[in-house]
Chain A
Amino acid sequence: MTNNLKVERAILNMTQADLAKKIGVSRQSINAMEKNKYVPSTVLALKIAKLFKKPVESIFFLEESD
């Protein structure tokens, strides 16, 4: 699974730390997600989508290998 967290973050002019604080996780978690090293749980994905006011599918995408 991949995502465009970095882009969404840039649109709102947020740092990793800002986003982490808003959804209540560590900055490392956001960093790991942006590097595609961590697939978030459904709850976390929904929280992020809610924050960006976008559907989950426009932030997280399946890849060929999924």
Chain B
Amino acid sequence: MIYLSKCKVFFTFDLSIINRTVMKTNYLLPHKYKTIGWILFILGIISGLFTVYSGYDYEPIRIKVFSIFNDAVFDKEADGFFKIIETGIASELSSIAIIIGGLVIGFTKEKVEDEFIYKLRKDSLVWAIIFNYVVLFFAIILIYDLAFFHVLVFNMFTPLLFFIIRFNFLKLKSNSHDE
């Protein structure tokens, strides 16, 4: 009897949404932006690594910028709040490219965006945050003085990077184990 009543509930339960494919997520960009994301991300990483390798001295573009707070090493006149200062912007451009590119890669829809891929994305984010801070923990207790500056620089981008690597790894893994 219990089973029958359950069946009744089941058959009267009309699922009008049966052919609606995609998960309803309001923060994901359309799939077509993914390529642009990858291009920005890779260009950003290459130019960023070049900037780091040059010891932050390579500055091909110098422009006047608005700074809300400046604490210069040499030019004391430029110190203070809300000043227009002149500076090189190579590292800034690289950082922006990595951040925007990385966010676009991580938060554009997949070809078939369903609840499983949504779960993979969420799991990758959790994994990336934990992994990032475990790495940072060891960097703090093992890297000192000026060398730690590099850790600070890389750590600006590693959460995104670990997230993207993990997410794509999980996608590949779920793709490879076929029937």
Contacts A24-B20, A24-B21: A55 and B119 contacting too (C-beta < 8 A)?
A: no
Closest beta carbon of chain A to B142's beta carbon, Å: 36
Q: Is A61 engaged at the interface, CB distance under 8 Å to the other chain?
A: no
- Tally of A-B Cβ pairs under 8 angstroms: 56
| Number of residues on chain B facing chain A (CB within 8 A) | 25
- Whether, in the assembled complex, B18 has its beta carbon less than 8 Å from a beta carbon of chain A, the answer is yes
Task: Give B contacts to A, CB under 8 Å.
Answer: 6-7, 10, 13, 15, 17-22, 110-112, 114-117, 119, 171, 174-175, 177-179
A residues neighboring B (CB under 8 Å): 15-16, 20, 23-26, 28-29, 31-32, 35, 38, 40-41, 43-44, 46-47, 49-50, 55-57
Could you show 24 A-B contacts with beta carbons less than 8 Å apart? A15-B179, A16-B179, A24-B20, A24-B21, A24-B114, A25-B21, A25-B112, A26-B111, A26-B116, A28-B116, A28-B174, A28-B175, A29-B114, A29-B116, A29-B117, A31-B174, A31-B178, A32-B174, A35-B177, A38-B116, A38-B119, A46-B13, A47-B18, A55-B7
